[in-house]
Structures are given as C-alpha cells and as structure tokens.
Amino acid sequence: MRLRYLAGLLLVPGLVLPVPALAETRKPYEKQPVAEGYGGAVATVDLDASRTAIEILRRGGNAVDAAVAASATLGVTEPFVAALGGGGFFLYYDARTGRVHTIDGRETAPAAMRQDSFMENGAPIPFAEAVTSGLSVGAPGTVRQWELALRKWGKMSLRQVLQPAIEVARRGFTVDEEFIAQTAVNLDRFKDIVPTRELFLPGGNLPVLGSTFRNPDLARTYRELAAGGPDAFYRGSLAAEIVDAVRRPPVDPASTRNVRPGLLTVDDLRGYRAVLREPTRVGYRGLDVYGMAPPSSGGSTVGEALNIISSLPKTGDRVEALHRYLEASRLSYADRGRYVGDVPDVPLKELLSTGFARERACLIGERAMPHPATPGSPDGTYGGCPAAGGTPDPLTYEGPQTTHLTVADKWGNVVAYTITIEQFGGNGVVVPGRGFLLNNELTDFSFIPSATDPNLPGPGKRPRSSMSPTIVLKDGRPFLAVGTPGGSTIITTVLQILLNRVDFGMSLPEALAAPRATQRNTPSTFAEQAFIDAYGPALTARGHTLALFPGPPAGFIGAATGIEFTGHGRIQAVAEPTRRGGGSALVVRPLDDDD
C-alpha cells in the first residue's frame, strides 16, 4: 500500500494556503477498491490521485476540478502512463443542463509528418525503434485539455488544482512493486537516455522498494504552469526545451541505440488546440450510452457492438451471451479498422445505426465466424443478410499502458477521463530538467501507406485511439461511468463491463473484477486464465480459439475504474481489486463515517 503525504489545501480564489495534515482532522485514507457514500466520489489506480480528488471535492471543487487535480497527481506517481507529455479524452456530464460533453486532447502530428514518415528504404521502421524515437512524439494535448475543461466547467483555477501534485512531487512518494515493475520494463532504454536515467534509475539501478521517489524538476514545471498558465507549456522556453528533446534526443554518447530525431517544432506546439466534440450515443436496454467520437474509436466501436447485441434476441445462457459478445466485437473491430480515423466523412451515423447493426448481427450464427471478419457497408441501405465485402484491415498496435479516472461531485456532475503517453514510459525521453516523459502516440498510426486505411500519418492529424471513457444515463440522469487503460483492449473491456453490469446482473464491483476476454478481429481470442478456465471448453466447442493474453502485464487485461449512482444520493466508487496492483476508490462521506 502506498502511504504518501499530501498537503491539504484551502482553496479560495487567488489564494492557496496549507491546512493541518489530513490525519489530524479525519481518518487517514486507505487504499481500497470499493467505497460507497455521499457527497462525491473518485476511482483511480492510485491512492494519492484519489485523495487529491477527494480533498478538492471537500473544499468546494467540482468533478472537473477534481479530475484535473487527480490527473496532475498521476503525472507524478504514475509517470510512465500519465504525464504532461501526453494527451487523452475527457467525457463530462453536466448536471445543470443534463448534457454530455467531450474534449479531445489527443496529440497531433507535426506539420512535417507524411504518410511515409515511418518508412525507411521501402520498409516500415521496426516498431520498437519507432517507439523510442523523436518521430513518435506528437504535440501533447493534456495541458490545453485541462485549460479548456476548467474554463468551460470548473470552479477553480489551474493554479489551485496543481498545488496537490506540486506537493507530492516535492515531498515524494513511497516506491512500491508496481512502480519498480514499470521501471524494469524500461530498464534497457532508460539507461541509454541521460535525463531519463538520472530521474528514474538512481545510481544506474532500479529504485528500491520502500524508498522515497521525489521529482523536484516536475514540481518546478508545475509551478511554472500554475504561474504562467498553459502558454507556459506551449510557448516560450519550455516549448523550446520540448522541441529540442524531440529533435535532438539526449542519448548517452556511449550508447549504440538508434534514437531517430523527430519532426516536432515550436509552431506545432503553439498551434495545438484541444477540441470540443459531440459525444457518440446509443441506446441499450433502456439506457443511453455516451462515448468518444473520432479520432477515438471507442464510442463508435463500443456503440456498434452494443447495437449488434441488442439486435439479437435476448438469451439467458451465459455461453451464448459471451459468444455473441465476441462475435459482435469481431465485427465492430473490422468496421473500426476500415472506417474510423482522423479523416473527413467517417460514417459515424451509419456505423451507429440500428439498420447497420441488424445487417451485421445476421452474420452471427451458432459458431464463430471464419477469421477474419471483413468490414460491412455502412451506406444507409440495409436489408437481408449480405456477406461483408472488402478486405480485412490489419490491427494497428496500441500499447496497453494508459490510465483512467472517474469522478462525481455532490451536484451530480460526472467525469470519465482516460489519459496516456502510450507505452509504459512513452518514447523513453525525459525532457531535461523538466521531470516528465514524452509520448510515443504517433506509433498509433499505421506505418504502411494504404489507399483504404483511415489511420495514416499526416500533418496535424490525430492518431486513432481506442480510449473509451463512457457515461451511461438512465432516464436522463447518471447511472454509471466507466473506463480503463489497455490499448486496443480498452474497447472490449468497457464493453464487457457494461454487459456484466446490465445483462448479467452483476454489481459494479463484480463487473470490474470478472475475468476478461478480448476479440479484436484477430485469429485468437485472448483472455485471462480465469476466463479460459470458466468458459474455454464451451467456447472452443463453438469454434473460438482462446489463448492467454500476452500482456503486458501478461495474463491481465485492463485496469478499470467506475462510479455508479445507486439511488437516494448514494454513490459507489469502484477500482480494480488486483489488476496492476489494485486501484483506489474513495467517497467524500463514507457510509461508516462517524464525522
């Protein structure tokens, strides 16, 4: 368990003062996967991030303020998955208007990026080399996303919500097994990049379990943002330092690693904008399910799969239901690969139409479809059961190393926020003297030019993502919110959690803890061992090929968080009980609070 100190804050416009330590005023926070109570709730992968959000809520902030504060804290305590150098997708339910909004904070490709930028001598660059390079770095979106969310819906300033993260970075936190494991995954490349080695490998070695990890450089960077606002990141000296690290990666001269320079410029940073987008929406079993529109494929693919499943007669047989889940996932991934990306005229309305869903659903029979499923034709003309036409598209690799947080406040506002720098450790480059890693998000593009691929690199384009922050309304009011890391498995994890909760009658904690399987139009369905043990023989008899999910981390899919509104003002916050070391769920006023 991480037991870290977090200074409390008195949050008054224009004024930030310390208050007594948390332990002096109330029970100490403990890491737990489920919490239930009133007044607001949060679920993240990390205790510090969760209690940051709860303290913001207790001091009058709303869900947006708390979400930004928690994500900034995750940039300290989970630096290999969440940082200033990345981006994400932000889903917000506004209780005042009853509307769901989204902010696209996805990274953008430099103006100099071309379709063949990941090609050399007629062949794609080896993926690992593309990751650890300047070529993989897109203009980060996180800070502009924070700015837009706070300006549109927040009650506090960026200066105020950054203070808890500054304190955690300055005072440090206790190194646990998960932090060491994520460092170890990156050991070889971190050793070759001078500022990364200096920050994360003290004395050239892995950090010691139980030691204190401090990041004064990140604290300084956050203080500059607090004082100067987002322009301190996207303009001036910090922007120049970011660009220099991308274009001249600070590799140890003694290293033989080929770390290619990137294309990012100060003009690319100066021109970055976070974008308000309309959410996707589908109806499912009387619920309204909201998600992210392109360039995320989360909302469209989750929504299409739900539509396909709801087009079939209900079944009480668990194996049949899981068979349909896998087949609906297979079909929706085929359509995702063919039609969804940061391109004009994505046929989103048709992909989410009931007519297209019925046409796709009619392909689901008693046995698994031959691999691969080919894309359908979302052309507005549906009837009969035509075979899907066209050719299958390859599955673009997306790293599973992301994080998700979910927040609700006492007014009923809800945030589902997925944040990433792509791989564990992003592109491996810490901006010298700044304390944060850069992203490798541009490796989410397809590397090989193709006339039919909607996910090719290009100037200013945002790579397709699978991030799927999701908010579900019942009778126009929040019912639950959920999301997860996991690269291209994000979509199936969110989909499976929804099915567990809505169709299988599980509680939200049970729905998150249940064993998972992911079918992404691949030859094998990858699954956790517990899923294979429980359902493998029956699904194999239906023609499915199951294999243990290779990770990383091996054998485990996702690390979800969620919130459910259970009635009469009560809220339940839920995080993973064991995956990736387990998460942290907190509420403002627990049911057993004696205060």
Rounded to 5 degrees, φ, ψ at 40 are 130, 160
Question: In DSSP terms, which residues pair with 104 in a beta bridge?
Answer: 89, 275
- DSSP-derived 3-state class of residue 74: helix
Residues contacting 518, CB < 8 A, separation 6+: 329, 489, 492, 493, 525, 526, 527, 549, 557
The C-alpha atoms of residue 540 and residue 535 are separated, in whole angstroms, by 8
- DSSP-derived 3-state class of residue 254: coil
Please check whether residue 167 is in contact with residue 69, taking contact to mean a CB–CB distance below 8 angstroms: no
Residues contacting 232, CB < 8 A, separation 6+: 224, 225, 238
Residues contacting 208, CB < 8 A, separation 6+: 175
Residues contacting 165, CB < 8 A, separation 6+: 52, 69, 72, 73, 75, 76, 222
Residue with the two structure tokens 């349909």: 324
The C-alpha atoms of residue 401 and residue 556 are separated, in whole angstroms, by 12
The C-alpha atoms of residue 134 and residue 231 are separated, in whole angstroms, by 23
Cα distances (angstroms) measured from residue 569 to each of 479, 498, 566:
12, 22, 7
How many residues are recorded in the chain? 595
Please check whether residue 403 is in contact with residue 45, taking contact to mean a CB–CB distance below 8 angstroms: yes
Check if 470 is active-site: no
The C-alpha atoms of residue 72 and residue 54 are separated, in whole angstroms, by 14
Q: Are strands 173-174 and 212-213 parallel, antiparallel or unpaired?
A: antiparallel
Pick left, alpha or beta for residue 582 (phi over 0 → left; psi -120 to 50 → alpha; otherwise beta): left
Q: Are strands 402-409 and 34-44 parallel, antiparallel or unpaired?
A: antiparallel
The C-alpha atoms of residue 80 and residue 429 are separated, in whole angstroms, by 11
CA angle 513, 518, 523 (to 5 degrees): 155
The C-alpha atoms of residue 405 and residue 416 are separated, in whole angstroms, by 6
Element (H, E) at 131: helix 127-131
The C-alpha atoms of residue 585 and residue 575 are separated, in whole angstroms, by 6
Active-site choice (52, 402, 420, 518) = 402
Element (H, E) at 284: strand 280-284
Closest CA to 82 of 379, 418, 489, 312: 418
The C-alpha atoms of residue 577 and residue 513 are separated, in whole angstroms, by 7
Active site residues: 402
